[in-house]
Chains A and B, each alone.
Chain A
Amino acid sequence: NAGVMQNPRHLVRRRGQEARLRCSPMKGHSHVYWYRQLPEEGLKFMVYLQKENIIDESGMPKERFSAEFPKEGPSILRIQQVVRGDSAAYFCASGPPEDTGELFFGEGSRLTVL
């Protein structure tokens, strides 16, 4: 039973380019959460999605960031026109519909903006 899979693990972009980060939840999980961890800081919630629906995007920056979780395929976090301040580790977590008290995190995607 594979865990939460994130790719790419490392991504380098130049300022102004786009970054796409993918997350495949654990089998049977329909809830996906994205978090961002800036260097030397804690994890900050960004967005919570279910299949084809954004449920809570209270932590998403208002511009340049978007997320989706289509009916088929992985969840995608998209960052347009990246800036140096977007350099961070982006973690995805998944959970089942029922409350088991546990979220499963991937190993993260580390974005470096030059």
Chain B
Amino acid sequence: DAKTTQPNSMESNEEEPVHLPCNHSTISGTDYIHWYRQLPSQGPEYVIHGLTSNVNNRMASLAIAEDRKSSTLILHRATLRDAAVYYCIRRRDSGGSNYKLTFGKGTLLTVNP
């Protein structure tokens, strides 16, 4: 049970920003929000993660709501290479070294040229 909710699919145009939403209304204080993506016929690829503050890296930005019940992955300029399934994952901090991820169905992002 991934305990996150994402739209099944979204569409974007090339070179436009994309905002991928995720709801995690039952999140607890120590749960991290992780985003991974899976291109066709490939393994998942890490995108970004955060706890409370907004995060930026070379791939994307992560905006986390103040109450932490939702978050948005932002791709600033979509390219055709960004077409993939995007997974929003709530990772529980077990206090040990088990960093397993529980994947849901994700959002299939289509990028139009």
Which residues from chain A sit less than 8 Å from chain B, CB to CB? 4, 31, 33, 35, 41-45, 48, 50, 55-56, 91, 93, 95, 97, 99, 101-108
Per-position 1/0 for B73-98, Cβ under 8 A of A? 00000000000000100000000011
In the bound complex, how far is the Cα of B103 from the Cα of A97, in angstroms? Answer: 21
In the bound complex, how far is the Cα of B101 from the Cα of A44, in angstroms? Answer: 9
Q: Which of B44, B105, B106 is the most central at the interface, judged by chain A CB atoms within 10 Å of its CB? A: B44
Tell me if A91 and B97 are in contact (CB < 8 A).
no
Smallest CB-CB separation from B55: which chain A residue? A101
In the bound complex, how far is the Cα of B13 from the Cα of A89, in angstroms? Answer: 30
Residue B102 at the A interface, CB < 8 A? yes
A-B contact pairs, 7 of them (CB 8 A): A31-B99, A45-B101, A45-B102, A45-B103, A56-B100, A101-B49, A106-B43
The smallest C-beta distance from B106 to any residue of chain A, in angstroms, reads: 7
B34: chain A residues within 8 A (beta carbon): 101
> Which DSSP category, helix, strand, loop or mixed, fits chain A's interface?
strand
In the bound complex, how far is the Cα of B104 from the Cα of A35, in angstroms? Answer: 13
Residue B45 at the A interface, CB < 8 A? yes
Tell me if B100 and A42 are in contact (CB < 8 A).
no
The smallest C-beta distance from B35 to any residue of chain A, in angstroms, reads: 11
Tell me if A42 and B104 are in contact (CB < 8 A).
yes
Tell me if A91 and B102 are in contact (CB < 8 A).
no
The smallest C-beta distance from A97 to any residue of chain B, in angstroms, reads: 6
Tell me if A42 and B105 are in contact (CB < 8 A).
yes
In the bound complex, how far is the Cα of B105 from the Cα of A50, in angstroms? Answer: 28
Tell me if B103 and A31 are in contact (CB < 8 A).
no
The smallest C-beta distance from A87 to any residue of chain B, in angstroms, reads: 15
In the bound complex, how far is the Cα of B103 from the Cα of A35, in angstroms? Answer: 10
The smallest C-beta distance from B37 to any residue of chain A, in angstroms, reads: 11
Q: Which of A4, A33, A56, A93 is the most central at the interface, judged by chain B CB atoms within 10 Å of its CB? A: A93
